[in-house]
Structure 1
Amino acid sequence: MKLLLALACGLLSAGALLWLGPESVSSRASMQDALAPPSEGERLGPGPEPVDLWHPERATPAEPAFGGTLTVHVEALPPSLNAALLNSTNARSALHELHATLVRRDWEGWEYEPELATGWEVADTLVRADGRLYGRIEESGEQVLVRALDAPAGAAPIVVPKSAALRIERGTVITFALRAGVRWHDGHPFDADDVIFSWQIASNPEVRCEWVRPYLKKIARVEKVAGGVRFFLEEQYFNSFGLFADTFCILPRHLYDLRDPEHAQHKSDASDAECAKAIHENPCNTQWVGLGPYKLTSYSQQGIEAERFDGFFEPAQGGYVDKLVWRHISSDEAAFQALLNGQLDFTLRISSDQYFGAATTQPAFTRTFCKGYFYLGAFNYIPWNMRRPKLADLRVRQALAHAIDMEAFVQTVAHGLAKLPTGPQCYFGPSYDHGVQRLGFDLAKSEELFAAAGWYDRDGDGVLDKDGQAFEIEMLIQSGNVSAGTFARMYQESLARAGVRLIVTQVDNATYFQRVNERDFDAGHAGWSVDVSENDPLQLWHSRSAAAGGSNHAGVIDPKVDALIERGGRELDPEKRWALWRELHRYLYEEVQPYLYREAPPRKFALNRAVRGVQFFKLTPGYSLRRWYYPAGTPGTRPTRG
């Protein structure tokens, strides 16, 4: 249930929509027909997903074979694959194949299942004035019965009067049994020390892991137990298992911890600053050493390459193809040409002109590729840096929202398919408040709000001013990104009518992340990939996430926001928790307005028809490359894995 950041880049992709002007098909009906699933409607809950739904020969079964190379497009190369330091959709998508976690969510059933763990036990915490007791806790009349951790079968419980119990924290002790014989890609054994070290980095104030620190700090302590590792949470948390599936990036201690005797530059008395430097500047941040079914062989500006890891601990889940390539092409137009040239097998960067127009109906495309779409929890947004004096006033941010016609944008550009959200929860999920009214396009209202904040055109030059300063703000976008540039120009023109000068600055991917994380920006242009059920807002809105490197990019520091997040985090009743998230949603939109919310679109793709076994899921990133294969008889394939 973690939110993943993606630069808003392409129409109906992971965090972006492309503004392309007039519709490229003749009627609304034909557009809807073009996007209609070929056999069954969209379902937003868990359950089996169809295989090869969009393939023209889906009715003809294909026999899986092993071998071959699968090349997928990545529009923005993540500057690091270390998910403890960087919250990136593209990095996380690669790590699904390059790495493993303690537990994972089943793609279709959404239940948590073991991965590096073989199983787990959950216990509770009884908080007393004189300390804490841990174990399975039952309430019986005026007594609390605590069956202590690791107590032998049949042992009598500890009896505590209810009057001596301050509170019970449910599900706060989780003991994982770890798989034996698991090895890192460099051959070094994986063990509990790796897990404990990966938690300890959050306690080093010099480590720049601000996006994940608030989550890791929920864990009070960790200890080794026979065959596994035990976590003690500070308080009950509704998403405790999601923490270990989505957020907890396990690092190889022997490669990252200077204090580990097995580290090549071992230094037992290394300072926190030295240890942090060894993490920040570690070559493994790009030359990743993981635990997944594929082992990285190359990381460069051309992309990421990986080959099947024969030592993977779960061979049946080890994938079909021999090689995975994430090819980095920043330009969507260049990526589409690379697709036609046979250099890509899969891309999510299909523009509406391409999807609805001749580009994907010409024989050069249809002979080799198919196209389709799927829904995934995601929305696009413009973050306002509320630390900037010009953007600190709520009335200014509301005025900026009134100065753009997003309804027209969705109808004429998104073909009426995208939704216009007002909050960060998935638009289709139970914790989204559909009663919140979006600020509509109204230049008169925008002018009124600007004037109330002291901004109006005093010198007649067409630009608002105050205290001798013109109202000029900068928006960062990714260089070479046609869709981001197009939207920015549209917004620039609309804001000019309201008297605002918008400067659009194109930067590369690494610079964008750096400037946003260092809070050196006025406005950005990005998207969040969110869980379709619910998301913990701690990452986006709590004041603890506002420091440099955290995901609270807008700088929301509000006691009411913090209180709602903290209440929701410990609320185990889903209905009560969802009500708290809806209350937070309304308050943020109506009283804070930290984002200009754009749209919540489906994802559109183009896929090589030679690839089969393709499913699309509701969990990020929406697909599992290890399930895809080339059918038996395809040149370069074989019937067995070896």
Structure 2
Amino acid sequence: MRRSWARRWPVWLVTSIILIALSAGLAVFRFQPTGEASSGPPVPTPDEGTRQPTVSVAAVSGGTFRQGLIGRIETLNPLIMRSTAERAVSVLLFEGLVWVDGSGIPQPALADRWEASEDGLEYTVHLRDDALWHDGQPVTARDVLFTVRLIQAPDFPGDPTLADFWRSVQVAVIDARTVRFRLAEPYAPFPTYLALPIVPEHLLEGTLPTDLSRSSFSVHPIGSGPYRLERADLRTGTIELVRFDGYQRPQPIFERVTIRLFESAEEALTAFREGELDALEPVPWKAIQDGQLLGKHARIYAPSLAGFTALFLNGQAQFFTDVRVRQALSLAIDRERLIRDVLGGQAEPGNGPIPPASWAYQEQDYRYDPAAAVRLLRDAGWEDRDGDGIVDKEGLSFRFTLLVNVDDPQRVAVAQAVAQQLAEVGLSVTVQPIAAPSLERQLLDREFTAAVFGWMSTSGDPDMFELWHSTQAEGGANITSFRSRTVDILLEQARRSLDRSERRSLYVEFQRLFAEYVPAIVLYYPRYCFVVSDRIGGVDASPLVAPEDHFRQLPRWYRVER
């Protein structure tokens, strides 16, 4: 489940990250780009060795790949898709001008190159000469202009944050293969937003934005991706795709892809276990814990995602105005124990706001030291003066409520474990699970003391302006109300500079200051688990921006003969 808590576009905060059957009990291993998987639960750490079996195999070209998805699909129009299942199919049918790799760097797709003006206000994008729609028509700059204008329309029915962003961008067609974008102000992450799926003008021209969901295009779309739609029956949950011969980047190895939709996780697991499917996702948490539910041919892949789960602290609350208190809480939380005892080892400890796969990531020193936490609390005036086991200051006991969304049992368990660990240094924490909509409202209105929830990047770029800049502290996504003029300057410069090495230096310093000021405590990094039969080769676990991004590698997958 994704929810936008930002008033604008770059940041999505999620109360229930869409990982392993909407479970919060997930985190990231730093997999190597070569790709590794486990031969069934539990998912091992990289040090335990997760390479493909060393057996003689032969790749088979052609054939049918059978994908199972747990979830529903209501539309195949990529501009109004909302679910992970819908976006997964979109990756196979459509392309953007670019795609964004797991480190957050845009890569060529429909565009083969682009350049920015020196002032960072204009981006000129050049389309590939061989880009074709599935009906044989060329993809042109007018298709790009048409797509953006659909999104800019006041009555666009899709993602409002996406629409808000594109409404500030001017688009001009230079020639059939060249399009120019002009921004209101320099914004270095802009190329990552060119991953927007492009739709064909010649098929949708004249369609009102409000009619997109009712258009025949929503059920029988024409895209430009590696596979074209042959048949879709959304009522029965069956979609059949055929290799598009006009796509050569690379040409898919499987000739056909069939997609089966399941509303029941049990039914989906049975179909995979009995060999009716080659792959299934998302993998229910219970199947990660019990390998028999997946069968002997299952291989679980767990690529990292661009996000984190954290303990967010309201900087306006009287308990957390002193930085020494926030530092003490960070020292008092044993991430290793949290991951071992609550998450079953399926996590990597968090130590900063930028995910490890990002090109801007810089690891920070993390340590668990409850004795040091007690000393910091004492230095800040918090001691157990009445012997009740709870520290106090000027007659006020250190008691607060920790909010968490009730619809996610794993996240509730994480919050309870955090509360128990903080009790060890004299803090009384009451965990209060509440409905997700209520949690969203309280966080946006700053009516909370602390909360455990997650953040996911929508673009893959490390831009953290919306989440931590002072201007966002009153009504934006900076729900901790964190303010630092030094951090503000770093974030402002980092989103304006077109020099990636300069941007990285700025973000390295930002991460250092984040570790010092501790506006939030990053507990762990998420990952997304999907299962593939060991009869399928070419699969890897490279980092992803979003769960559906791993379908970009499907054209390289193949069936193996042993």
1:536 aligns with 2:463: yes
The equivalent residue for 2:30 is none
Mapping 1:17-416, distance limit 5 Å: 17=26, 35-36=45-46, 53-54=51-52, 56=53, 59-73=56-70, 92-104=87-99, 112-115=107-110, 117=111, 119-120=112-113, 122=115, 124=117, 168-169=118-119, 172-177=122-127, 182-183=132-133, 192-196=141-145, 198-199=147-148, 211-212=161-162, 216=166, 219=169, 221-227=170-176, 228-234=178-184, 237-245=187-195, 248-250=196-198, 262-263=206-207, 278=210, 289=221, 291=223, 292=225, 293=227, 295=229, 297=232, 306-308=239-241, 314=247, 317=251, 320-325=255-260, 327=262, 339-340=272-273, 345-347=279-281, 349=283, 359-360=290-291, 367-371=296-300, 373-382=301-310, 384=312, 386=314, 393=321, 401=330, 404-412=333-341
Q: For residues 192 and 565 of structure 1, what CA distance do their matches in structure 2 show?
A: 33
The equivalent residue for 1:607 is 532
| Greater Cα radius of gyration, structure 1 or 2 | 1
Q: For residues 582 and 202 of structure 1, what CA distance do their matches in structure 2 show?
A: 35
Sequence identity, in percent? 19
Q: How far does residue 425 in structure 1 lie from its aligned partner after superposition?
A: 2.0
Match of 2:542 among 598, 617, 628: 617
Match of 1:578 among 497, 504, 508: 504
Q: How far does residue 580 in structure 1 lie from its aligned partner after superposition?
A: 0.4
Give the letter aligned to residue 464 of structure 2.
Answer: P
Q: The residue matched to 2:192 in structure 1 has which SS?
A: helix
Match of 1:627 among 543, 555, 561: 555
Give the letter aligned to residue 585 of structure 1.
Answer: Q
The verdict on how the C-alpha distance between 1:58 and 1:536 changes in structure 2, with shifts beyond 3 A counting, is farther
Q: Residue 121 of structure 2 contacts residue 186 of structure 2 at CA under 8 Å; is this kept in 1?
A: yes
Normalising by structure 2, report the TM-score.
0.68
Q: For residues 437 and 109 of structure 1, what CA distance do their matches in structure 2 show?
A: 24
Q: The residue matched to 2:58 in structure 1 has which SS?
A: coil
Q: Residue 473 of structure 1 contacts residue 503 of structure 1 at CA under 8 Å; is this kept in 2?
A: yes
Q: The residue matched to 1:195 in structure 2 has which SS?
A: helix
The equivalent residue for 2:37 is none
Q: How far does residue 244 in structure 1 lie from its aligned partner after superposition?
A: 1.1
The verdict on how the C-alpha distance between 1:365 and 1:354 changes in structure 2, with shifts beyond 3 A counting, is closer
Q: The residue matched to 1:322 in structure 2 has which SS?
A: strand
Q: For residues 338 and 519 of structure 1, what CA distance do their matches in structure 2 show?
A: 45
Q: How far does residue 406 in structure 1 lie from its aligned partner after superposition?
A: 1.6
Q: How far does residue 223 in structure 1 lie from its aligned partner after superposition?
A: 0.9
Q: The residue matched to 1:615 in structure 2 has which SS?
A: coil
Q: For residues 251 and 222 of structure 1, what CA distance do their matches in structure 2 show?
A: 16
**1:157-196 Cα distance to aligned partner (Å, 9 max, x none):** xxxxxxxxxxx426833133376885589x9997545533
Q: For residues 542 and 8 of structure 1, what CA distance do their matches in structure 2 show?
A: 23
**1:459-483 Cα distance to aligned partner (Å, 9 max, x none):** x897999999973342115x3x453
Structure 1 gap segments, 5+ residues each: 19-30, 41-52, 125-167, 265-274, 635-642
Q: How far does residue 312 in structure 1 lie from its aligned partner after superposition?
A: 8.1
Q: For residues 220 and 313 of structure 2, what CA distance do their matches in structure 1 show?
A: 33
Q: Residue 183 of structure 1 contacts residue 190 of structure 1 at CA under 8 Å; is this kept in 2?
A: yes
Normalising by structure 1, report the TM-score.
0.61
Q: For residues 245 and 24 of structure 2, what CA distance do their matches in structure 1 show?
A: 32
Q: The residue matched to 1:367 in structure 2 has which SS?
A: coil
The verdict on how the C-alpha distance between 1:111 and 1:122 changes in structure 2, with shifts beyond 3 A counting, is closer
Please say which of residues 489-498 and 606-615 is displaced more in the overlay: 489-498
The verdict on how the C-alpha distance between 1:619 and 1:475 changes in structure 2, with shifts beyond 3 A counting, is closer
Give the letter aligned to residue 243 of structure 1.
Answer: Y
Mapping 1:356-505, distance limit 5 Å: 359-360=290-291, 367-371=296-300, 373-382=301-310, 384=312, 386=314, 393=321, 401=330, 404-412=333-341, 418-427=347-356, 431-437=360-366, 440-441=369-370, 444=374, 471-477=400-406, 479=407, 481-494=408-421, 498-505=427-434
The verdict on how the C-alpha distance between 1:472 and 1:633 changes in structure 2, with shifts beyond 3 A counting, is closer
Q: Residue 232 of structure 2 contacts residue 239 of structure 2 at CA under 8 Å; is this kept in 1?
A: yes
**1:285-342 Cα distance to aligned partner (Å, 9 max, x none):** 9869572435493668x9x75331677852764654332245455x7x8875664465
Give the letter aligned to residue 109 of structure 2.
Answer: P
Q: For residues 444 and 204 of structure 1, what CA distance do their matches in structure 2 show?
A: 56
Q: The residue matched to 1:223 in structure 2 has which SS?
A: strand
Give the letter aligned to residue 59 of structure 1.
Answer: S
**1:490-533 Cα distance to aligned partner (Å, 9 max, x none):** 234445662121211355xxx5997599668843533536999x
Give the letter aligned to residue 431 of structure 1.
Answer: A
Q: For residues 537 and 17 of structure 2, what CA distance do their matches in structure 1 show?
A: 29
Give the letter aligned to residue 453 of structure 2.
Answer: H
The verdict on how the C-alpha distance between 1:346 and 1:251 changes in structure 2, with shifts beyond 3 A counting, is same
Aligned length: 521
Q: Residue 420 of structure 1 contacts residue 600 of structure 1 at CA under 8 Å; is this kept in 2?
A: yes
**1:418-475 Cα distance to aligned partner (Å, 9 max, x none):** 43233222335553333455675567468659976xx9999x8979999999733421
Q: How far does residue 71 in structure 1 lie from its aligned partner after superposition?
A: 1.0
Q: For residues 547 and 341 of structure 1, what CA distance do their matches in structure 2 show?
A: 54
Q: For residues 288 and 487 of structure 1, what CA distance do their matches in structure 2 show?
A: 43
Q: How far does residue 596 in structure 1 lie from its aligned partner after superposition?
A: 2.8
Q: How far does residue 216 in structure 1 lie from its aligned partner after superposition?
A: 4.1
The verdict on how the C-alpha distance between 1:569 and 1:376 changes in structure 2, with shifts beyond 3 A counting, is same
Q: For residues 201 and 319 of structure 2, what CA distance do their matches in structure 1 show?
A: 43
Q: The residue matched to 2:537 in structure 1 has which SS?
A: coil
